[in-house]
Structure 1
Amino acid sequence: MKETDTMRNVLLGLCPYIGKIPASVMAMTKQNGQSKPMTLQPGSFTSSTQSGKAPVVPPKGSSIPQISGGIRFGDDWKKCLLLPPKDTRVRTTDVTATKGNEFEDYCLKRELLMGIFEMGWEKPSPIQEESIPIALSGRDILARAKNGTGKSGAYLIPLLERIDLKKDYVQAIVLVPTRELALQVSQISINMSKHLGGVKVMATTGGTNLRDDIMRLDEIVHVIIATPGRILDLLRKGVAKVDKAQMIVMDEADKLLSQDFVVLVEDIISFLPKNRQVLLYSATFPISVQKFMTKHLQKPYEINLMDELTLKGITQYYAYVTERQKVHCLNTLFSRLQINQSIIFCNSTQRVELLAKKITQLGYSCFYIHAKMMQEYRNRVFHDFRNGLCRNLVCTDLFTRGIDIQAVNVVINFDFPKNAETYLHRIGRSGRYGHLGLAINLITAEDRFNLKGIEDQLITDIKPIPSSIDKSLYVAEERSRRTLEVQL
C-alpha cells in the first residue's frame, strides 16, 4: 500500500462522520413507529465500533467539512464533533473554581478528546484537574470531592487513555455499590470511548443471568464495571481473568469498604497483580477507608476538595409536620414548586410503594424503585426516569449513590434519614455539576433531634420552609435571566 493511501486511511478514522456508526450510540429499536434508544442491560458489553453498519450522514446545515477524502491537514478536527446543546446554566464554584486547565493539556489521545467533548464536557472540574494527571502517572489516589462534581470523569478519562487495544485481556476494573450506578458508569465509558476504535466495556451486576456473563467473557473485554458480588463470582469460577489488570477503581469507596462489602472487596483485590494501581473516590471517608488505604495503597496521592460537605448550589429547608400531614404537605409542594424532576426518599420499600400509589392518585406522574424489585423493572424505571418520561421518582436509599440525572432540581425527604452520611448523599441528587437545587425535609417530632445533629455534623444550615420559595434558588432559567440583568 502506498504511503499516501495509508495516511488517508488513518485520517478517515478521525472524523465521526466518516466510517462506521458506533453501535453503543446508534443502536435503536422500533416502538409505536418511532425509533428510541435501546436500554443498556447489565452484563452487556459494547464495542466502540462494529463493522457492517451504514456510514453516518451529516445533518443538514451543519458546519462539517464535506470533503471526500476525510480530514485534510490544516482542518480543525473539532468541527467534526457532534456536540450537544451548550449548557448556559449558572454553575457554582464547586465546579468553576479551577486552575484554568483544558482537557488538551493532559496529552490525551485525540479520539478520547472527541468523546469527552461530545459528552458536553468543555473543561475539567477541580477534581478532574487534580486527579487526571496523577492517575495517568500510575500513582495510587485517595480522592475526596463533593457529590456531582465530576468524579466519574476524573477516573474514567485516565482509565480509557491507558487502555492498550493491542492487548486482548482485562486491563481495568471499576467497582460500584449499586446496579444502577454500574449501568450509568458503563454508558459514560462507552460514549466517551466511541472514537477510540475498539475499546470493549462490560457491565456485570447481580440480578442478571450469570451464564450470559460467562459467555461474554469468552470474547475480548478491556474494562469491567461491576458490583462486588457478581465480579467475585466470576473471579472464583475462573471466568474473569484479572491477573494482568493494571488498575482498579472504587467509586463510592466509603460504601464499598463498609461492612456490607469490605470482605468481598478484599477477596477481589487478592485476584489482582501486586503492582496494580488503586484509585478511591468518594464524598466521605470513614475510618474503614483509612484502614484499607494503609493495607493496599502504596504512597497514595491524597486529594481533598471538601472545604465544606454540602454543595453550594443546594438550598435546604425543613417543614415541621405530623405523620398524617406528610402527604398533604407533599401535595402542596407539588402545586407550588416549579419542578423539572424530583426524587422523593422513603426509609422502607413498603412506604415507597404506598407513597407512589398515593402520588398517582393525586394526579401526578410517578415512578418508584427499590432493591426488592426485579432487576428488569429496575432497569426500565431508571432508564425511563433518566430520559424524562416521568417527573417524580419515589425510592429508597438505593438511589443515593452516584446517580446523576441533570434534570433533577428538587429532592424531598418524605422520611428523614437516620444519619448525616445518608442525608448528604440524598440531597446530592439535585444540584448536579454545580447547578442549582432544592432539598426539602418533612420533619416530625421524632426527627427534630436528628435534624439538629445532622446540621451540626455537616456544618450546614437547614432553614424553616418559607411560605414562598424564590424560584431563582432552584430554577436555572430564572437565575440565568436575573444574572444577565445584573450584568447589563
Structure 2
Amino acid sequence: MTESFKTLPLPPSMIETLDNLGYHSMTEIQSKSLPFVLQGRDVVAKAKTGSGKTAAFALGMLERIQASSFAVQGLVLCPTRELCTQVATEIRKLARYKGNIKVLLLCGGQSIGPQIGSLEHGAHIVVGTPGRIQDHLRKQTLTLSKVATVVLDEADRMLDMGFSDAVQQIVNQTPSTRQTLLFSATYPSGIEKLTKSIMKDPEVISVEAVHSESNIEQLFVQASRNKKDDLLLKLFQHYQPASTVVFCNTKQQCKEVCRMIKEHGGSADALHGDLEQRDRDKVLVRFSQSSCSVLVATDVAARGIDIADLAMVVNYDVPRDPEIYIHRVGRTGRAGKSGLALSIYSESETYKVELIEDYRKQPTVYLDPDTLNGDKPLPLPEWVSIEVAGGRKDKIRPGDLLGALTANQLLTGKAVGNITIFDRVSYVAVAEADAKLALKQLTAGKVKGRKVLARIAK
C-alpha cells in the first residue's frame, strides 16, 4: 500500500508542487523517514541510489528555510559533482512551491572565482563536495553559522574516497542545534563511528533497493581474455540495446574498450577519473540525451549517476566484490521495467562468479556464446546533442531553445528531445535526421534575442 504525501504535515502549496512533478505517492524511504525528518529528528537511512532519497531529505530542509534570510541554512554534502548536480536540480524543482529559494552548487573541477561571486549574492542551500566546501571555508567565502539542516548523501562513498576527516571538520562548523540527516547505501564501521560523533539520538531506517532483481535477466558468459572484445561486440549486435553501460575495473581498460567500440563503427563515450569536469558533463549529457549508445565507465566515475530506461548493463570486468556487482546490475530494470545484465568472465575468474552466486543465493544462468547472432550492425543512437554557448547564468531556459528551434516551423517539437542547462553551456537533443537543420536554426537565428554559438557535441 503506497501512502500519499497528503498524509504528511506539509503545506498545500508543496503538495501541489509534488503533484505537478509527478510525486503522487511516497517511496518506501520517503514514507519511513519523512515523518521523523519533518519532526526535526536526526535520521540515518540505509538506501541506494534511485530510492527517492533526495525528496526524503529536501522536503524537511525546505520547510525550515527562511526565504527572507539569504544566509546558508541548508548544506548537502555529496561524494561527486555528478551527484551534486543531480541533487541540486531536484531540490530546485521541489523548492518551486516556496519561491525565491537559491540553491548553489559548490564542486571541484570548476573555477572557484565565479563560485565566490555567487556566494557574495547569498544562497539558502549549498550542495557541494567536501573538498570544495573546505576550500571556501578556508577562504572564509562560506559561512555555516546559520545552517539548520546538514545532509550527508552517499556517506559510505565519501568515506571510501577519504573524506571522513573533511566531513567531520565541515559539520563541526555548523550549529550544534542543527538537524543531521545521513544517507548511505551500505553501513560500514566508519559510518557508525561518524554518526556517533555528529548525530543526536538518530532514528535508524533501512530500506531494500527499489530495483527488484526479478525484473533483471542476469546472464554470465565465458570468454578467453583475447576474445572479450569480439564477444562484447556480438552482445551489442545480438541484443540491439538502445543504451548500455559497460563497466570496467580500471581507467585504462575503459579507454581501450571505448576506442575499440568506436573503431568498429559503434557509438561510445568513456567516463573515468582522468576527464576534465566539462568533458565529464558532456559525456553524461550525451548519454542521458540518447545521442550516445554506450557509456564505458569505472565504478567510482559512475557512482551517483541515475539514467532512466537503461536497457543493458555489461560487466566487461567482473568485480571482486559481489555488492559492487549488485549495485552495477541494479542500474537497469528500474521502476518496474525489464532489464538485462551480462557479465563476461574468463576461466580464472570463475571464483568471482561463485562468490556472486553465494551472495545472491540464486543459481547462476550461463549464456552460450554460440547462440548469439552477430550478423546485425551495432546499434546507433537516433538523437544528436547540440552544444550551445550559453546557460543558466545567461538566463537561458529550455523554452528559449525550443522556441529558437521551432520559430519558423521548419522543425516541430517532436524533433526536439531532452534539454539540459548548465551555468554557461546548454545541450539540446534533436532527432538525428534533423540535426543539420537544427544546427542551422540555432546559429542563423537568435536565442533570447541574441546570436549564439552552437555545434554538434562530440
Deviation at 1:359, TM superposition (A): 0.8
Structure 1 residue aligned with 2:18: 116
Tell me the SS of whatever aligns to 1:143.
Answer: strand
Instruction: Call closer, same or farther: CA 1:139–1:402 in 2, change over 3 Å.
Output: same
| Candidates 383, 387, 390, aligned match of 2:292 | 390
The separation in 1 between residues aligned to 2:293 and 2:124, in whole angstroms, is 37
Structure 2 residue aligned with 1:225: 127
Q: Answer yes or no: is 1:294 the counterpart of 2:189.
A: no
Structure 2 residue aligned with 1:182: 84
Does the 8 Å contact 1:400/1:426 carry over to 2? no
Worse-matched range after superposition: 144-153 or 270-279:
144-153
Instruction: Call closer, same or farther: CA 1:457–1:297 in 2, change over 3 Å.
Output: farther
Tell me the SS of whatever aligns to 1:371.
Answer: coil
**1:411-452 deviations in whole A, cap 9, x for unaligned?**
111111122332232222222344332221111123221222
AA of the residue aligned to 1:313: N
AA of the residue aligned to 1:293: T
The separation in 1 between residues aligned to 2:173 and 2:364, in whole angstroms, is 45
The separation in 1 between residues aligned to 2:175 and 2:59, in whole angstroms, is 22
Instruction: Call closer, same or farther: CA 1:340–1:403 in 2, change over 3 Å.
Output: same
Instruction: Call closer, same or farther: CA 1:159–1:315 in 2, change over 3 Å.
Output: farther
Matches within 5 A, 1:311-330: 311-330=213-232
Instruction: Call closer, same or farther: CA 1:186–1:410 in 2, change over 3 Å.
Output: same
| Candidates 266, 285, 305, aligned match of 1:364 | 266
Q: Answer yes or no: is 1:456 the counterpart of 2:358.
A: yes
Deviation at 1:123, TM superposition (A): 1.2
Instruction: Call closer, same or farther: CA 1:307–1:148 in 2, change over 3 Å.
Output: closer
Deviation at 1:105, TM superposition (A): 1.8
Matches within 5 A, 1:15-54: none
Instruction: Call closer, same or farther: CA 1:436–1:162 in 2, change over 3 Å.
Output: farther
Structure 2 residue aligned with 1:81: none
Q: Answer yes or no: is 1:440 the counterpart of 2:342.
A: yes
Structure 1 residue aligned with 2:165: 263
Structure 1 residue aligned with 2:50: 148
The separation in 1 between residues aligned to 2:119 and 2:335, in whole angstroms, is 35
The separation in 2 between residues aligned to 1:459 and 1:219, in whole angstroms, is 55
The separation in 1 between residues aligned to 2:162 and 2:358, in whole angstroms, is 27
Deviation at 1:223, TM superposition (A): 0.9
Deviation at 1:177, TM superposition (A): 0.8
Tell me the SS of whatever aligns to 2:104.
Answer: strand
**1:213-254 deviations in whole A, cap 9, x for unaligned?**
111100121111111100111112211111111111111111
AA of the residue aligned to 1:249: V
5+ long unaligned stretches in structure 2 = 373-458
Q: Which has the higher contact order (CA 8 A, sep 6+)?
A: 1
Deviation at 1:309, TM superposition (A): 9.6
AA of the residue aligned to 2:257: L
Instruction: Call closer, same or farther: CA 1:296–1:309 in 2, change over 3 Å.
Output: farther
Does the 8 Å contact 1:149/1:434 carry over to 2? no
Does the 8 Å contact 1:142/1:300 carry over to 2? yes
Deviation at 1:271, TM superposition (A): 0.8
The separation in 2 between residues aligned to 1:164 and 1:424, in whole angstroms, is 41
AA of the residue aligned to 2:342: I
The separation in 2 between residues aligned to 1:240 and 1:434, in whole angstroms, is 42
Does the 8 Å contact 1:128/1:150 carry over to 2? yes
**1:329-383 deviations in whole A, cap 9, x for unaligned?**
1111111214231111111222211111111122221122111111111111112
| Candidates 114, 125, 128, aligned match of 2:27 | 125
Deviation at 1:275, TM superposition (A): 1.7
Does the 8 Å contact 1:346/1:352 carry over to 2? yes
Deviation at 1:315, TM superposition (A): 2.7
AA of the residue aligned to 1:257: L
Does the 8 Å contact 1:171/1:246 carry over to 2? yes
5+ long unaligned stretches in structure 1 = 1-98, 470-488
The separation in 1 between residues aligned to 2:286 and 2:211, in whole angstroms, is 31
The separation in 1 between residues aligned to 2:31 and 2:210, in whole angstroms, is 19
Tell me the SS of whatever aligns to 2:296.
Answer: strand
Structure 2 residue aligned with 1:164: 66
Worse-matched range after superposition: 117-126 or 340-349:
117-126
Does the 8 Å contact 1:148/1:434 carry over to 2? no
Instruction: Call closer, same or farther: CA 1:290–1:457 in 2, change over 3 Å.
Output: farther
| Candidates 233, 247, 252, aligned match of 1:345 | 247
Matches within 5 A, 1:3-82: none
**1:303-331 deviations in whole A, cap 9, x for unaligned?**
11239996443332211111111111111
Does the 8 Å contact 1:148/1:431 carry over to 2? no
AA of the residue aligned to 1:414: Y
Matches within 5 A, 1:400-415: 400-415=302-317
| Count of residues paired in the alignment | 371
Does the 8 Å contact 2:95/2:101 carry over to 1? yes
The separation in 2 between residues aligned to 1:444 and 1:293, in whole angstroms, is 41
Instruction: Call closer, same or farther: CA 1:435–1:162 in 2, change over 3 Å.
Output: farther
The separation in 2 between residues aligned to 1:205 and 1:265, in whole angstroms, is 14
**1:41-69 deviations in whole A, cap 9, x for unaligned?**
xxxxxxxxxxxxxxxxxxxxxxxxxxxxx
Structure 2 residue aligned with 1:47: none
Instruction: Call closer, same or farther: CA 1:434–1:159 in 2, change over 3 Å.
Output: farther
The separation in 1 between residues aligned to 2:210 and 2:25, in whole angstroms, is 23
The separation in 2 between residues aligned to 1:162 and 1:197, in whole angstroms, is 14
TM-score (norm 2): 0.76
